[in-house]
Chain A
Amino acid sequence: MIPSPVNLLTHRARNRLGFCALFAAYVAALALAFEHWQSGLGPLYLYPVSWLAGQILDGIGIITLLDAGQMGAGYCVLSMERAVFHVTYECTGVTALIVYLAAVLAHPTSASHRCLGVVLGGAALFAYSALRLVVLGVVAQLWSDHTQFFHVYLLVLMNVGFMLALWGAWARRPVLAWRGRS
């Protein structure tokens, strides 16, 4: 009998390849779903993140007005004394959310653990996205020269770090390995 290429791989390599292939498939599926239903996500994600950021900024003394009139066009407007933010989906870390959800769904574990990862991780990323806008608002208000650096570079990379740390914290539970039928 000729062994199939899959059988020639070690368990670890099969585990790794399976995870990466599933991860890529979930990213593609979630990105397509996001493109398709983007307009419906405005009231569920874009507006709440912008609203929460506005409330926190108000709470720390930076008067902020939220205008959701352009939500159909894909953004909310946060107006502060010294800065106006057009908050798009990218600003709310939706890329990090998609990558995180794909990593959770692709990880070999139980369905209940996966549900926990989706719900708690989604909530954590939601809160993080609002806090990220708050940090950006504070920077724009106090050190406006650095807004570009924080907005375009630093906080974009921080999205990746936070998302992977969150996934790592969730995935600390012993993993399940993918094994073929014997």
Chain B
Amino acid sequence: MSRPTAASSGPLLARPLRFLVVFSLLTGPLLYAWAGASTHYLAAIAALANAILGATGCPVTLNAPTGASGEVVHPGTVGALALFAATPGRPWRWMARWALVTLAVLVCLHVLLLVAATWQAWAHAAPAAGADLYLLPLVSRLVNGSRDWAPLLAVVVIWFSALRASTPPMDSTA
């Protein structure tokens, strides 16, 4: 059985107030910038999802919207960037490396959720067309339950993991 014992590392998040201020200052402008870029992101995600749907035998093609809809797609993506950029006491290489890891995980999650949701919609619309009805309730439950939670949890878990992977020693943050 494991038990907790004292360790001599410094605080995981130095200067939390500074973190909150920088995060707040970064988030607004990044969101405005992302509002324009997110349409292209959605197109890229849809293309990847289409490739997987085609390979798995789902005869549905997703078309990403081309015009400006006023919606910001996957705003958590810029939240993740702001999170790593605002974390104090870490070198820029740490920020860049973990931001890239997070972006890669988010892209995979967004594609998988889109594929699962498309499969779910297709199976509901055409139950006799070959969709696996045994898996449908499970897929539906997973998609509906994780659409809001999964990206947020992925970002938070990666951030926690990144903090713990390189906690500075106590005397360097005093």
Contact = CB atoms under 8 A, between A and B. Distances in A.
Given A95-B148, A157-B79, A16 B164 contact: yes
B160 A176 contact: no
Interface stretch (A36-44, A52-60, A73-81, A164-172): A164-172
B149 interface: yes
A75 to B, nearest CB: 17
Main secondary structure, interface of B, reads helix
Contacts of B157: 20, 23-24
Interface stretch (B15-23, B103-111, B115-123, B130-138): B15-23
B76 A157 contact: yes
Interface stretch (B1-9, B47-55, B60-68): B1-9
A176 B82 contact: no
Contact of A16 (B8, B13, B23, B161): B161
A149 B27 CA distance: 12
Interface residues of A, number: 44
Given A165-B23, A176-B7, A12 B16 contact: no
A103 B83 contact: no
B75 interface: yes
A175 interface: yes
A180 interface: yes
Contact of B72 (A153, A173, A179, A180): A153
Interface of B: 1-9, 11-13, 16-17, 19-20, 23-24, 27-28, 31, 70, 72, 75-76, 78-79, 82-83, 86, 148-149, 152-153, 155-157, 159-161, 164-165, 170
